[in-house]
Structure 1
Amino acid sequence: MRILHTSDWHIGRTFHGNSTMDALAEVFGALIAQVRENDVDVVIIAGDVFDSATPAGPAYTLLGDTLVGLHETGAKVIVTSGNHDSAARLGFQAGLLRDGIHVLTDPEAIARPVTIDDEAGPVHFFGIPYLEPAIVRQHWPEAGLRTQAQTMSHAMGLVRGAMAEREGRSVAIAHCFAAGVDATVGLEREVRQGGLDVVPLEVFDGPDYVALGHIHGRQALSDRVRYAGAPLHYSFGEQHKERGSWIIDLDADGLAEVRWSALPVPRRLVTLTGPLDDILSDENVTAHADDWVCAEYTDTLPQAEPMRRLKERFPYCAMVQHTPAQSTDDASRQSYSARLKAAVTDVERIEAFLEHVRAGQGPKERESELIREVLDDRVIAEALV
């Protein structure tokens, strides 16, 4: 049996205020072609199908069109819900979907697999929707679930119990943060912002393959436990990470082979760093006019209307950051507090402030003159009072 593992579609997400719907439609077209060209039998979508619990109408249309396209290849499709999805909304039509498309969103159905046969016998697919302990502990009050690690451990215990009652091979599908993940490869935004409720890798012992979602970069935690990542780049931090799907072959004995199949990137992401005038150079414009651009300009002082100027040269400039180059002299390495303590006069205090906010660069000659003029005027005014 040949399986394609994808996840974290996030239909409806924007990229720095720009719609990703057209880009996703292009990538989904390539994904359908992957399924057809590789004679895939089963497509797994491991959660976060939508980016919101209340997706807009076009998001449903894109999902529907994509599921129909996958179904028309002859492959079966198994979908689970992630933390961004509303399990109720994603699953409400599950009973009405055409044969061969399975949407698994019910925690109480974890031990009831979707079973698909091939020439070697049955393969049991156990879908574990995203499990928020505070919400799902009502289903298993005796388990005393407080963390996602405990909850996922309980769910996998149900899976192993159901496996013991059935002959054949097994695949588990889950959406969580598993131990062993490289935290630099496109963690989704809620994971970065909150605490990490890590699920130990040994929790996933048992099935022949475990298809995980929740992390936006591909990762192999072991030969049989993997993240496929998102099919589209959703942040500049992901720009160097390949997009694609895992293709898994099961033989009569279990896992036989796993290989990566890349997906196209509709618009490249690039980060340009340097003085603003250098970033705006003709050479950069020629090379990156059609790319999503993040500009990190290193000028000492903030520049006037940098985004407007960048947009004029790079139509797809999505982000601009002022990251002044750090001075390496001894004075610049002093803390702001130390500089203030060393300052005796008001002029020195102002100079210390400017060095602090300008990454070690003090006032220019004309600025020093203005500072002294203002302070002199203040002294004269106080004397006349």
Structure 2
Amino acid sequence: MKFLHTSDWHIGKTLKGRGRLDEQAAVLREMLGVVRAHQVDAVLVAGDLYETSAPTAEAQQLVVNALLAMRATGAEVIAIAGNHDHAATFEAYRPLMKAAGIHLAGRPRPAEHGGVVTFPARSTGERVNVAVLPFLSQRYAVRAAELLSGTPADNSARYDEQVRIALDRLKAGFTSDAVNLVMAHLTVTGGAFGGGERPAQSIFEYHVPAAAFGSEPHYVALGHLHRRQELPAPCPVHYSGSPIAVDFGEQDNENVVVLVEATPTTPAKVTDVPLTAGRRLRTETGTLAELRERAEEFGDDYLRLYLREPARAGLFEDVHAALPNGLQVRIDPEFAGTDAPRAAAAAEQRAPGELFAAYCAERGVADQRVEELFARLHDEVTTADA
């Protein structure tokens, strides 16, 4: 039997103010073509369907239509909430989506109450069990009082323990005559970041080792990290990665969906199917004159530009006139002229958490808990429904 593993669609995500719904729609259409061509038994969407927990009506319409179209092929469709999604809304729409034949999970559930989705594969008639674990935040798994009083190692151990307990209880719903799968949205130890993840909900103080999944699953379908990768483990553990680069930090990532083939008695076989829809993101360096000469080469690509010339009045307007797809324009630090602009340019390339850590170091504050609290606060105030 065959399964399609995908995650981290981030529908509704903009890039430096530029809307990308048309690109995201093209990617989903391409994905639907893969579902049809391979006649998969199920589509597994491992979280972060949306960019924000309060998506626009247009973003919701795009996701719902995509899920319905995939279900119309005859495939089972199972989707879980990621850290960008609104878990309570997923739960509210769960009965309605179930009526349409789509399995939606916003919060962790016991195996017997929807935590394990069971169905017969249309290709073979054999049983499939999919244990689903939506995003489990550190605030949910580790109480605030413990976060304040415990060390980072203590907190990490508690989070690891809670996730392991959840996985063990879900795997109780597995059966020996079936293909048994796990789908989860979380950070696994040793996973490589893709570049666009939300730092407060990806920090490695809150992670689980790949060994936590055990040897029972035929395949573990993960979401959260945007880079396509496999983690060494007793069973196949894979991140599908995002199907489209969500920002310039992901410009070199390979965008794919993962085709999984398995039987109850054989290990999973995994094949990456490349996705090509959506504009390319690229970073280029040069003078305005040099970049203008290469405009034809750039085509419709979205650009991050570093200008190798001093700032002057009207320079940025001239760049945007010549290269309208130059969404981020900066002066190369070498040409900034003074230490202050150079420092500012360097700071712009650092995440808020890194800047706060540097601030603490300057003032002699050496407490990892303070940095963790800052990360969670920053995440709260930058979330759409804060």
For the superposition of Structure 1 and Structure 2, which TM-score range results when normalised by the shorter chain? Answer: 0.7 to 0.9
State the partner residue of 2:221.
211
What one-letter code is carried by the residue in structure 2 that aligns with 1:101?
I
* Distance in 2 between residues matched to 1:298 and 1:192, nearest whole Å: 36
Q: Is the 8 A contact 1:169 1:254 kept in 2?
A: no
- Counterpart position of 1:334: none
Cα drift, residue 166 of structure 1 = 6.0
1:39-118 pair list within 5 angstroms: 39-97=39-97, 98-110=99-111, 112-118=115-121
Cα RMSD, aligned residues only:
2.6
1:276 deviates by: 3.2
Residue number among 288, 302, 305 corresponding to 1:292 in the alignment: 302
Residue aligned with 2:53, SS? coil
1:227-271 C-alpha deviation (Å, 9 max, x unpaired): 111111111121111211000001231433100001123211121
In structure 1, the residue matched to 2:276 is: 264
Structure-1 separation of matches of 2:324 and 2:299: 7
Q: Cα 1:60–1:201, aligned 2, differ >3 Å: closer, same or farther? A: same
Matched, 1:121 2:126: yes
Alignment pair present for 1:148 and 2:159: yes
Q: For 2:270, what is the secondary structure of its paired residue?
A: strand
Q: Do residues 309 (structure 1) and 318 (structure 2) align?
A: yes
1:310 partner SS: helix
Query: Aligned partner of 1:85: which letter?
Result: D
Q: Deviations over 1:343-370 (max 9, x none)?
A: xxxxxxxxxxx664587xxxxxxxxxxx
Q: Distance in 1 between matches of 2:60 and 2:302?
A: 26
Matches within 5 A, 1:198-237: 198-205=207-214, 206-222=216-232, 224-237=236-249
CA pair 358-314 structure 1, distance change in 2 beyond 3 A: closer
- Post-superposition offset of 1:168: 2.2
> Is the contact made by 2:179 and 2:263 (CA closer than 8 Å) also made in structure 1?
no
Q: Could you tell me how far apart the structure 1 residues matched to 2:277 and 2:110 are?
A: 36
If the length of structure 1 is used for normalisation, what is the TM-score?
0.77
Give the gaps of 5 or more residues in structure 2.
144-153, 343-386
The equivalent of 2:373 in structure 1 is none
- For structure 1, the residue ranges without an aligned partner over 5 or more in a row are 139-143, 328-353, 360-385
Q: SS where residue 247 of structure 1 aligns?
A: strand
User: Match for 2:263: what amino acid?
Assistant: D
- Runs of 4+ aligned residues of structure 1 deviating over 6 Å after TM superposition are none
Q: Which moved more, 1:224-233 or 1:91-100?
A: 91-100
Deviation at 1:135, TM superposition (A): 2.7
* 3-state SS, counterpart of residue 50 of structure 1: coil
The equivalent residue for 2:184 is 174
Aligned to 1:253: 265
Q: Is the 8 A contact 1:106 1:129 kept in 2?
A: yes
Tell me the residue number matched to 1:379: none
SS where residue 85 of structure 1 aligns?
coil
Shift of 1:64: 1.4
Is this contact kept in 2: 1:169–1:208, CA < 8 A?
A: yes
Query: For 2:312 and 2:90, how far apart are their aligned partners in 1?
Result: 46
CA distance in structure 1 between the partners assigned to 2:322 and 2:225 by the alignment: 34
Separation of aligned partners in 2, 1:270 and 1:136: 38
1:20 corresponds to which residue? 20
- Cα shift readout 1:29-65 (whole Å, capped 9, x = no counterpart): 1110010001111000001111111111111111111
Whether the 8 Å contact between 2:243 and 2:256 is mirrored in structure 1 is: yes
Q: What TM-score do the two structures reach when normalised by structure 2?
A: 0.77
**Number of the residue aligned with 2:332:** 323
Distance 1:104 1:120, change over 3 A: same
Distance 2:332 2:206 in 1: 33
**What secondary structure is seen at the aligned counterpart in 2 of 1:215?**
coil
The residue identity in structure 2 corresponding to 1:35 is V
- Structure 2 Cα separation of the partners of residues 130 and 276 of structure 1: 45
* 8 Å contact from structure 2 (residues 138, 206) kept in 1: no
Structure 1 stretch 146-155 or stretch 99-108: which is displaced more?
146-155
Mapped contact 1:87–1:106 kept (Cα < 8 A): yes
Task: Note closer, same or farther for the CA distance 1:302–1:43 as it changes in structure 2 (3 Å cut).
Answer: same
Deviations 1:15-35 (A, max 9, x none): 111112111111111110010
**Percent identity (aligned):** 29
Which of 191, 196, 199 pairs up with 1:190? 199
